Structure 1
């Protein structure tokens, strides 16, 4: 239709979904419509088009920001000056100047501190007093990550508040006693030892959350979004039972538990997951007569999305995750520095991490609109899909004895290991692309050094990092044995070069042409032990077999062809879009005697 036929004043011509489907069929050219849908590892199906018909909830059931079921936010409006707390994690004991780091963070715009005790085995009140010297604890909430210090570390912090005669009513913070995350990380049985003492000592501190229901702990071990929400719910209900056993009324117990979730690069999924978490929290609260209680959500940028390779890309990952968490209405957000996968946190990377939040708050003003994603048919449908599947999975956990039993009998660990394998398959085929790792690797950017103590949990990039570490020892080359002219071989040559670069191998591009002897001589002079034939299908048909034999004669250790498999005896392997990238690169490096530990 020409513009002359359209009157903008009378509106655009109406089109139905049937019209859209008809147009899509012409593009698909006989392929089934299902090729446009995507199924996540947890079974969530994403459609190519969302309409009013796919919108599962009404405005009434979704509620309004600040009102039950809190899907659209725990508050009616955000504080324009501080829409959410800008939290920064401090790994205690990693550096000699932890207090200086904390004061620098606070002066630079941080409004809450996450004290991570994972690098130490014990902590005393004196230690914390020195660590937090100069910190106004009634202004900057503290979020504890007790790790191995357990309840003793939490009690030491409570003793510090008493020592400093802090106003109990003015104090807010999150003690994060979490028997489930602790047991999961240590591969131990669940224990609530010390909770009785904690409840007694914190009785006069009503604004301190005692426990957390952490979905992030499971996310970091490989859980998919539905799993994360289901485990979070299971932890929430178990925590409620534990606190009620200590004499707390249901409403008091619920108010003393916060939620901890991950935020990752799946932008819309992160928004939907946080909205779903509030909806699911409300379902539990309603069942115990506390429908008016809204949750407090702390979001952490996903550690499994980060990589030591081309670490500056982690800034982009953190930005996407933070934007999603902010739009979704999280109360606290902690952004890991781009160097978090190593031991190299410094003033620059920490400043970038907190400035990411400051820019989103003060320049992008993303919190000026409450629930900005609300009303999007995609986000609303995704939120509801997550809630329905997570609730069903949560009920299954409860029906089989609860989260404690499933952690103790290793059922949870088995489920998480299976999810890790699912993600590894997606990473292997690049269906889950990792920029700077499996896509567009930059060999001129030195990777961050591996941490002195291996970090726990699962990360998508780990196996590629191991290959790059191996290759760094010898910096191997790969010769691109190109057939024909540049226009013919460049597409596959570029693909092959990027594939080998994921394993740290530098490409040497051949001159091309059809002189098989000259190509073999060029390979021999290149210093490479690995080669890949690159060209068009027609050129392969005419010359690939002869060239493969010639390269064998020239001493190639591993020979591949860029394209689908063919019946050529001298070819060791094939690289192509959708192929097994990781194992392909592993085989090539193995021919050079470079093999990673299993």
Structure 2
């Protein structure tokens, strides 16, 4: 036993690791394992002590990357700010009380006009909750009304948390700039500084840009540019710098790239510290207060329970990154949250606090060579993007010129391309789609602010990555209702099961995201069997599945016979033949080769569009 205890292992060098890795890679270099993010940051396959960076020894100091409180969550827990949904004020009052009893630790709900039109006042709805919990509310375009209502509360000067509004983000969403709204917002800030000394009212909300498809560099660059814009505008109105900073809070959506999102929050604090230093702010007001919410951009209507995993992963990243307020979206939020899903979303935060013990760990990401390197790289990229905005006249000017909208659209297009070609997977949507599930109703639409005056600009469209495929599924459902049968594609399975199974399974998975079922044949060993299958097939579309060897030995013959007897059918081939053989297949009647690099969305869309036109024509006839 002593011998075992005293046994040690020889230290290995990075060079030795690379040699072993390249043997496993069968001749490829270690550099081939590098990946490039949507932010154009190159990620290495291995980070070592050589990547170690000099960072603050504890949170609450230096550049604030490690947090704004020296003891992290152990002395300043993040607040569970679950946004309460409601239809009536009575509903809100009841749910607010229940949520606080079950773990909610901040008052958070969507501000609607009904709050100010109901018989029961906001004072009665809130009860005494505001004396126990801070607010965590984005009032959007109703900040004036909301602040006026809470001014009637007893001891309103003790109200804490944030009741904020971000005019620029609202303008970007609405596609309209209103000087009148901005001027009223400035008045709100001035008045609230006197009426609510402990309340933050200046919100920098990057969520609309995230939901438009922006990458992490763009999100942070925009947030910093907005912060600078408000600093300068409010100082022009006579508000002191330190007072402005104590009224600010930043809101971020947390996406699916776990380590990137952690680095995003850490880099945000580094950058804001740098900006406020340049403005001459004191250290005690340079720390960035952050409210975060799990991303709606990554969520799906189909197979909604997978959203539990997505939201859990995003919430975990937010907490590790160091937030002060957190909202975790219910898994069925897109089609209308239920009491069950709201409870589970709230409990995700409680699990992170009580079961994962994250409230007792000070900066769990600190010292990670990978996270620290990623934080620095991201901060540098963001600074460059911020300088581009600044040199173009600032955030308002780049919105007016549509430069920012185009940058965000370009970022979204890259992500969308990867989803369409299934380079990136969305479980339950573009991979492992379940055609037996009951398709939920159309997603709920968020109301956009309306301004009667001002200058029109290009709006930043709210998007979700899954939406294009969800539209295909809705289209397929419409065709099914008219035909009384699901859209389908016939699969000709050449040879024995072991010969065609791999491509058969691939093709089933390829068609399913569009709501198209695959009708597979029995093993096809002859032309007559293939003809019989096509004769019985209801679908116009047929895909041949087999091995390359089968394609070259019997595939051409079968295709020629089928094309001659069934000229109206559309034929696909599973897999990509050798380049010199492709033209031969196309000349024989193959419309398209379907393989790993095919654009799944475009192929399915073309089939459904054609089916839709045919169905409409038959209906009219």
Give the TM-score, by structure 2 length.
0.88
SS class of match (1:112): coil
Report the CA distance shift for 1:288/1:81 in structure 2 as closer, same or farther (over 3 A): closer
Kept in 2, the 8 Å contact 1:438–1:502? The answer is yes
Question: Which residues in structure 2 correspond to 1:550-561 (within 5 Å)?
Answer: 550-552=561-563, 553-554=565-566, 557-561=569-573
SS class of match (2:176): coil
Q: 2:296 corresponds to which residue?
A: 303
Question: Which residues in structure 2 correspond to 1:42-61 (within 5 Å)?
Answer: 42-55=39-52, 57-59=53-55
Q: 2:159 corresponds to which residue?
A: 171
Per-residue Cα deviation, 1:481-524 (whole angstroms, up to 9, x for no partner): 11122112111111110110010112222222422321332243
Q: 2:553 corresponds to which residue?
A: 542
**Whole-Å Cα distance in 1 between the matches of residues 122 and 606 of structure 2?**
54
Question: Which residues in structure 2 correspond to 1:330-345 (within 5 Å)?
Answer: 330-342=323-335, 344-345=336-337
Partner of residue 529 from structure 1, selected from 540, 552, 575:
540
Q: CA deviation at 1:314?
A: 0.7
Root-mean-square deviation over aligned CA pairs: 2.5
Is residue 568 from structure 1 mapped to residue 559 from structure 2 by the alignment? no
**Whole-Å Cα distance in 2 between the matches of residues 484 and 434 of structure 1?**
32
Kept in 1, the 8 Å contact 2:189–2:202? The answer is no
**Whole-Å Cα distance in 2 between the matches of residues 361 and 285 of structure 1?**
32
Q: 2:395 corresponds to which residue?
A: 403
Gaps of 5+ in 2: 448-460, 481-485, 616-621
Is residue 354 from structure 1 mapped to residue 346 from structure 2 by the alignment? yes
Is residue 39 from structure 1 mapped to residue 50 from structure 2 by the alignment? no
Kept in 1, the 8 Å contact 2:491–2:544? The answer is yes
Kept in 2, the 8 Å contact 1:224–1:419? The answer is yes
SS class of match (2:154): coil
Q: CA deviation at 1:384?
A: 0.7
Q: 2:517 corresponds to which residue?
A: 506
Question: Which residues in structure 2 correspond to 1:91-102 (within 5 Å)?
Answer: 91=85, 93=87, 97-102=91-96
Kept in 2, the 8 Å contact 1:211–1:256? The answer is yes
Per-residue Cα deviation, 1:383-413 (whole angstroms, up to 9, x for no partner): 1111010011111211111001111222111
Per-residue Cα deviation, 1:131-158 (whole angstroms, up to 9, x for no partner): 83435112222223233xx2xx223222
**Whole-Å Cα distance in 1 between the matches of residues 571 and 546 of structure 2?**
14
Report the CA distance shift for 1:551/1:9 in structure 2 as closer, same or farther (over 3 A): farther
**Whole-Å Cα distance in 2 between the matches of residues 195 and 595 of structure 1?**
54
Q: 1:480 corresponds to which residue?
A: 491
Kept in 1, the 8 Å contact 2:202–2:249? The answer is yes
**Whole-Å Cα distance in 2 between the matches of residues 243 and 540 of structure 1?**
71
Is residue 103 from structure 1 mapped to residue 91 from structure 2 by the alignment? no
Q: 2:453 corresponds to which residue?
A: none
Q: 2:70 corresponds to which residue?
A: 76
Question: Does 104-113 or 495-504 show the bigger shift?
Answer: 104-113
Question: Which residues in structure 2 correspond to 1:244-323 (within 5 Å)?
Answer: 244-289=235-280, 290-293=282-285, 294-323=287-316
Kept in 2, the 8 Å contact 1:124–1:156? The answer is no
SS class of match (2:50): helix
SS class of match (2:292): strand
SS class of match (2:557): helix
Partner of residue 205 from structure 1, selected from 196, 202, 209:
196
Q: 2:618 corresponds to which residue?
A: none
Per-residue Cα deviation, 1:284-340 (whole angstroms, up to 9, x for no partner): 122223233311111111110001111111111000000111111111110111112
**Whole-Å Cα distance in 2 between the matches of residues 246 and 157 of structure 1?**
23
Report the CA distance shift for 1:241/1:81 in structure 2 as closer, same or farther (over 3 A): closer
Report the CA distance shift for 1:121/1:410 in structure 2 as closer, same or farther (over 3 A): farther
> More helix per residue: 1 or 2?
2
Partner of residue 242 from structure 1, selected from 233, 241, 244:
233
**Whole-Å Cα distance in 1 between the matches of residues 143 and 536 of structure 2?**
65
Q: 1:139 corresponds to which residue?
A: 132
Question: Which residues in structure 2 correspond to 1:209-248 (within 5 Å)?
Answer: 209-248=200-239
Question: Does 510-519 or 432-441 show the bigger shift?
Answer: 510-519
Question: Does 545-554 or 396-405 show the bigger shift?
Answer: 545-554
**Whole-Å Cα distance in 2 between the matches of residues 70 and 81 of structure 1?**
16
Report the CA distance shift for 1:574/1:123 in structure 2 as closer, same or farther (over 3 A): farther
Q: 2:601 corresponds to which residue?
A: 582
Q: 2:408 corresponds to which residue?
A: 416
Per-residue Cα deviation, 1:412-470 (whole angstroms, up to 9, x for no partner): 11111111111111111212211111111111222321135467511100100000001
Is residue 447 from structure 1 mapped to residue 431 from structure 2 by the alignment? no
Q: CA deviation at 1:103?
A: 3.0
SS class of match (2:291): strand
Q: 2:173 corresponds to which residue?
A: 185
SS class of match (2:274): helix
**Whole-Å Cα distance in 2 between the matches of residues 251 and 496 of structure 1?**
61
Kept in 2, the 8 Å contact 1:470–1:594? The answer is no
Q: 2:483 corresponds to which residue?
A: none
How many equivalent residue pairs?
581
**Whole-Å Cα distance in 1 between the matches of residues 113 and 542 of structure 2?**
48
**Whole-Å Cα distance in 2 between the matches of residues 231 and 509 of structure 1?**
51
Kept in 2, the 8 Å contact 1:88–1:112? The answer is yes
**Whole-Å Cα distance in 1 between the matches of residues 41 and 93 of structure 2?**
45
Kept in 2, the 8 Å contact 1:215–1:228? The answer is yes
Partner of residue 24 from structure 1, selected from 21, 26, 29:
21
**Whole-Å Cα distance in 2 between the matches of residues 594 and 350 of structure 1?**
41
Kept in 1, the 8 Å contact 2:491–2:543? The answer is yes
Is residue 392 from structure 1 mapped to residue 381 from structure 2 by the alignment? no
Give the TM-score, by structure 1 length.
0.91
Report the CA distance shift for 1:546/1:145 in structure 2 as closer, same or farther (over 3 A): farther
Per-residue Cα deviation, 1:232-289 (whole angstroms, up to 9, x for no partner): 1101111111222232221111111111111122111111111111111111122223
SS class of match (2:426): coil
Kept in 2, the 8 Å contact 1:311–1:448? The answer is no
Q: 2:472 corresponds to which residue?
A: 467
Report the CA distance shift for 1:520/1:85 in structure 2 as closer, same or farther (over 3 A): farther
Q: CA deviation at 1:368?
A: 1.9
Q: 1:156 corresponds to which residue?
A: 145
Report the CA distance shift for 1:575/1:123 in structure 2 as closer, same or farther (over 3 A): farther
SS class of match (2:107): strand
